[in-house]
Amino acid sequence: MHTGALVVAALIVLSAGCGSPGDGTSGDGPPEADRPAATGPRQAGQGRGGAEIATVRGRRIAVYKRKGDGAAWKTLSSPNEMGATRVFLVDAKDGDWLKVLLPVRPNGSTGWVKASGVELSTTSHRVEIDPKAFTFTVFDGDKVLRTGKVATGEGGTPTPAGRFYFTELIQPPDPDGDYGAYAFGLSGFSPTLTTFAGGPGQLAVHGTNKASALGGKVSHGCVRVSNDDITWMAQNLAIGTPVVVRK
């Protein structure tokens, strides 16, 4: 009896020694980091590759409340009301569908569009506006490209906080006028003005002919920057660039 047990023990020692050559191939498989990522719905947002911008291919695009819906919720034209090719900021991707930030009221509205109806591009740029400090910062990833002073909305017509994006770039006929040299339309709207100057109360980031007012609450909701800054933005940023207005 003891003899048999000892023989078994010897065989176990033998097999253990031969089965562990130290090559690391046995056990539970490759480390977690080496495993391929699971596929499925994924958040786009401002990831490693930056923000994704969806540019509408045709003359209009159907927007759905939920992906896979049979009937469209809205149909948006392209060009948009200001004459620019319609773009969306992509929030998430799921197969052939894209969840996008919509340039409609209420601010922050999202919908789903078919990926086949848009062309995707990626930007690592983003603009952050700090209304408390009255400053803007343009980032390229983590790198600061430019900072400057802003003016924001006054008490009755505040600049709302939120995540927006540039919808078009307008060049006013008079660079010394109220809008300065350029105006980037935003995907957001004034919370208090439903119309303004014949428009729908759309917000913008634009230049100014009153540089001395920068650093204060003086606008009807738009974000004003210096003409030098808006000219730099016009020369360096794309339609669809994310713009975050902090609280």
Partner 1 sequence: MQLKSLIAAVALGVGLAGTGLAAGTAAADSAPPAPTATPREPTPASRPTAPPSTRRPGEPSPTHPEPAPSRPPVAKPIPKMPNYTG
Residue among 204, 214, 225, 243 that touches partner 1 (CB under 8 A): 204
8 binds partner 1 (CB under 8 A): no
Per-residue interface string for the shown chain with partner 1, residues 159-198, x marking contact by CB under 8 A: -------x-xxxxxx----xx--xxxx----x--x--xxx
Residue among 49, 58, 106, 141 that touches partner 1 (CB under 8 A): 49
Region from 95-103, 104-112, 126-134, 203-211 binding partner 1, contact rule CB under 8 A: 203-211
- If the CB atoms of residues 213 and 244 are measured against partner 1, the closer one turns out to be 213
DSSP state of 117: G
150 binds partner 1 (CB under 8 A): no
Question: Is residue 96 classed as helix, strand or coil in its secondary structure?
Answer: coil
- Distance (Å, rounded) from C-alpha 223 to C-alpha 151? 6
- If the CB atoms of residues 48 and 247 are measured against partner 1, the closer one turns out to be 48
152 binds partner 1 (CB under 8 A): no
* Sign of the four-CA dihedral 213, 214, 218, 221: positive
Give buried/exposed letters for 89-101 (b at 16+ CB in 10 A, else e).
bbbbbeeebbbbb
Residues 6 or more apart whose CB falls under 8 angstroms from that of 101 comprise: 88, 89, 90, 91, 108, 109, 110, 163, 164, 165, 187
Q: Are 196 and 186 within 8 A, CB to CB? A: no
The length of the chain is 247
Per-residue interface string for the shown chain with partner 1, residues 104-143, x marking contact by CB under 8 A: ----------------xxxx--------------------
β-strand partners of 135: 130, 149
Contacting residues toward partner 1, per CB under 8 A: 3, 6-7, 9-11, 13-14, 16-18, 20-23, 49, 52-53, 55, 82-84, 120-123, 153, 157, 166, 168-173, 178-179, 182-185, 190, 193, 196-199, 201-204, 206, 219-222, 234-240
